[in-house]
Amino acid sequence: MKTKSLLLALFSLFFSELVIAQQPDPVITDCGLIQGMFENGLTVYKGVPFAAPPVGELRWKAPQPMKKWEGVRQAVEFAPGPPQGQNFSFGKSEDCLYLNVWSPAKTADDRIPVLVWIHGGGFSAGAASEHMFNGENLAKKGVVLVCIAYRLGQLGFLAHPELSAESPAHVSGNYGLLDMIAALQWIQKNIAAMGGDPNKVTIFGESAGGIAVSMLCASPLAKGLFSGAICQSGGSFGPASVKTASGENMKLLKDAEQTGIAFANNLGAASIAELRKLDADRLTAGMGIGMAWPNIDGYVIPDDQFKLYEAGKYNDVPVLIGYNSDEGASFSRARTPEEYYNAVKNRYEKFADDLIKVYPAGATTVPKTARDLDRDAAFGWHTWSWARLQSRTGKSKVFYYYFDQHPDYPEGSPRYGQGAPHGSEIVYVFQHLNQSNPMMGSSQRTPSDQVISDAMSTYWTNFAKYGNPNGEGVPEWPAFSEANPKVMYFNQTPYVGPVPSADALEVLDKYFEWRRTPEGQGVTE
């Protein structure tokens, strides 16, 4: 028995020494020493704190600096994700302000370009540590890959008069965006210790993450924190609205505060003090009253982003932006042509008939041509507007894409006629085609999928390195301009083509222009 115990002790000691031997030397951050791990030829740091836990009295406050620690902090396990409806193997916690790093650097002097991923999920779901966002494959193409977390749901975006009153800036609601800015500030201070170049930081994100990227491009608080931006199916160029609709989710602070009051009342809380006592899970359940979304507060987000870009008031960095061919398949519920017509007329009012002409439904079905209106109202028009405005008022180049890689579903299939749905490009960018992809079963993959994945990951990492996606082994991608409105298509193989559905976008453009008038805002004398 004693012999067995001795052997176990020796094995444990050996194993511990082996683990230590497999770890890199600790690196110095502004808060103390951290130690990551070697993983498949990279140095990986998991669960690195970039701000103090936003709990207790720090709930609904701007992120605060992390306190310094003694000794060496182990960064070898993912931190819990933010509280939300879904669960993760690594758990959930209000203490969620952590990031993960995959670095190919051999020394701290390597100064490798940095790609910073901001996940999507409607500002209410998702986590930096989701398996889909493992940065290993991108890092092996010569970048330091960082995935950052941020507060979600009402914990990240609750606006309320009491919160605005207690804020030094007299605003509330954009805590999740402030978390992103805090993470970027941490990267500026610390990424060099992990071999990254703080002067070559490119932010990229999809869906809500892409929307956040566009907001950071327009925020004076983020100025100088990044040198390039990639937006996948995002952009926030619609007007502020009391009501929310696809592509028109933004509220002015005063209206967002009223939504926050309704949210508190719904929970039976008479004050912010009472809300701070509630369990975090009660604050993130569902997306009903008080749906989480950033607001135009005049501080983090100074104004309507379209107007900011018209005036040239934004962080002028190179951008790579685009969207997918069938985003509407993910958001359009099954409905009859009559239901589609009524919905269009209800939302678009005087522009309904013109939009139905360019986004027509079938006699008995609502095909992709009709779903494209949902696609363009939420994503297509926003990226197109971004490309036009920046190429008109900025100095930095714009690169525009259209992702249309998808299986050809057989006639009679529930997915017959579908294009590339929302989020389906992520596995191509991160080079995870060999892993589970709910958008596309392994039996449906073709050699062209790998061609597209290799091309996109190369373009994305080239962009991080050079501020330009072009380089060896990929077709030339021309910069977008209004005089030369060229788009890179990802379909079977990369090729350059015109702006998709340009005539339809022009009609939608007139609608959004009208929405910014007193009549379009429903303002009456």
Sign of CA dihedral 83, 87, 91, 96: negative
- Measured from the Cβ of residue 430, the count of other Cβ atoms closer than 10 Å reads 23
Point out the residues that are catalytic.
207, 327, 422
Those residues with Cβ within 8 angstroms of residue 325's Cβ, 6 or more apart along the chain or in another chain: 375, 402, 403, 404, 406, 419, 420, 500
Here the tokens at position 205 are 């994100």
Here the tokens at position 343 are 């919905």
Residue whose pair of structure tokens reads 């619609």 in the numeric block: 238
3-class DSSP state of 312: coil
Q: Give the closest residue to 51 by CA, choosing from 157, 162, 161, 187.
A: 187
Distance CA 259, CA 290 (A): 5
Distance CA 304, CA 311 (A): 11
DSSP states of 479-513 as a string? PP-SSS--EEEEESEEEEEPPTTHHHHHHHHHHHH
Distance CA 324, CA 308 (A): 26
Listed in order, strand segments (DSSP E) in 36-186 are 37-39, 42-49, 72-74, 98-103, 112-118, 144-148
**Is 420:428 a contact under the CB 8 Å cutoff?**
no
> For the chain, how many residues are written?
525
3-class DSSP state of 423: coil
Here the tokens at position 285 are 């359940």
